[in-house]
Amino acid sequence: MSFAIWALIIGAILISMALFGTLLKRLPLSPGIIYLAIGYALGPAGLALMTPDPLRYSAELEKMAEVALLISLFAVGLKLGVPLRDRRWYLPLRLAFPSMILTVTFVAAIGAFVLGLPAGAAILLAAILAPTDPVLASDVQVEDSSDRDRLRFSLTAEGGLNDGAAFPVVMLALGLLGLHELGDGGWRWIAVDLLWAIAGGLAIGSALGALIGKLVLYLRTRHQEAVGLDEFLALGLIAIAYGVAQLSVASGFLAVFAAGLALQRIKERSKLDRPSGAAMVTTIPGAERGRELATHSRHAGTYMMEAVQGFNGQLERLAEMGVVMVVGAMLSYTYLPDRAGWFLLLLLFLARPVSVWLGLVGSTGVSRDQRILISWFGIRGVGSIFYLMYAINRGLPEPLAKQLLAITLMTVAASILLHGISVTPLMSLYTRRKTSPRR
């Protein structure tokens, strides 16, 4: 297909989403559903303009999903204006670790007994499907750092944490399949893939985010330098945090998430010094006025964060569109596995809800409505695609790769459809019930 036709198609999609994006927010229809349908129509089952054979192009698909995930994890970190020592992290930490471990256990058991998978493959499938997705969960995430709603904060932070937390389980499963070195008695997996990957990733990202953020603010407020090019700052921090973490054998995903979180704290520390009315400094016209705000000691942090967030938010939406369209096109390369319906029902209505409720036992301040919605919005998406392609590229046998590919794509597509249709009415109902005088 010629470049002109591709330009026409992409241009039509982008303009249509810009024109009708506000309407979609009022309908029980998420952008992900639209992208999935367009991808399927452009794939081999439709016009055959997109042919992303997942086995043939697994390396390219892995990198595409990885980039989209990094952009989204950084965006999630930027939205959470709460330090990790704050009590509000107690709930998402329980979701990202105990609840995720329970989810892996339940999904692995379902894979073994319902689908007949061997132990290593069942654990790998569970690790692929356990993490919730920060890319497709924008409708249930916090809008900005001032949003303190417990449901939104918990789902947002969970999506940022458990993509990195799932990586050790993937490596364990690959080790059980003979595709990764676990060490005698599993010492290497425990020391490097688990403990150091998580702790090192968080530490590296936090240090780099704080260091670079403070450096930029110092240059702007003291020397009126390093003004502008905030897009370069966003992309540069993502790249350097990921690169340093990966070269240190730590989790690049957690490093990028922590870097966004640390950069957000630069703004939060300056809030008390900011006079009222300065919240949306980027709306003040004039290049000179913008430069003045960017270098002002009270406004520089806010100005920098709003510029970085705006650019990264646009990148996140473009990444979502590209990846979900490719997922839609890949559906033509798979088949519907036997007992797939039972697997999906058990995953959505048993494994996730039971894991959440058990993981939150003893937690206070969580309403019944919030527990129900947290249990339901275990959205699967780009993270699952990345882990699947990662496993395929590490030598997963082709028959097993095809089986896991079919199950994963079916689950991701079902999640996009079911969660995309239900998110608007359920979140609207939650907001009304939360603000009801009787409650």
Which three-class secondary structure string do you get for 169-204?
HHHHHHHHCCCCCCCHHHHHHHHHHHHHHHHHHHHH
Q: DSSP state, 226?
A: S
The CA-based angle 351-355-357, given to 5 degrees, is 125
Characterize 270-298 residue by residue with b for buried, 16 or more Cβ atoms within 10 angstroms of its Cβ, and e for exposed: beeebeeeeeebeeeeeeeebebbbbbeb
Express each pLDDT in 157-177 by its tens digit. 898 898 888 999 999 999 999
What is d(CA 113, CA 80) in angstroms, rounded to the nearest whole number?
A: 40
Residue with token string 């692929």: 128
Fold of 3-23+31-435: Na+/H+ antiporter like fold (1.20.1530)
What is d(CA 4, CA 436) in angstroms, rounded to the nearest whole number?
A: 53
Q: What does the pLDDT read at residue 269?
A: 55
Phi-psi sector, 337: left (phi>0), alpha (psi -120 to 50), beta:
beta
CA 198, 200, 206, 209 dihedral sign is: negative
CA 3, 5, 9, 11 dihedral sign is: positive
- Residue 98 — φ and ψ, nearest 5°? -60, -45
How many percent of the chain have pLDDT more than 90? 48
Q: What does the pLDDT read at residue 73?
A: 92
Residue with token string 């922590």: 258
- How many C-beta atoms surround the C-beta of residue 27 within 10 A? 11
Q: What does the pLDDT read at residue 282?
A: 43
Q: What does the pLDDT read at residue 381?
A: 87
Domain boundaries, the chain: 3-23+31-435
What is d(CA 309, CA 311) in angstroms, rounded to the nearest whole number?
A: 6
Q: What does the pLDDT read at residue 145?
A: 67
- Under-70 pLDDT residues of the chain: 1, 135-138, 144-145, 223-228, 267-305, 437-439
Q: What does the pLDDT read at residue 284?
A: 44
- How many C-beta atoms surround the C-beta of residue 157 within 10 A? 28
pTM, entire model: 0.89
Q: DSSP state, 352?
A: H
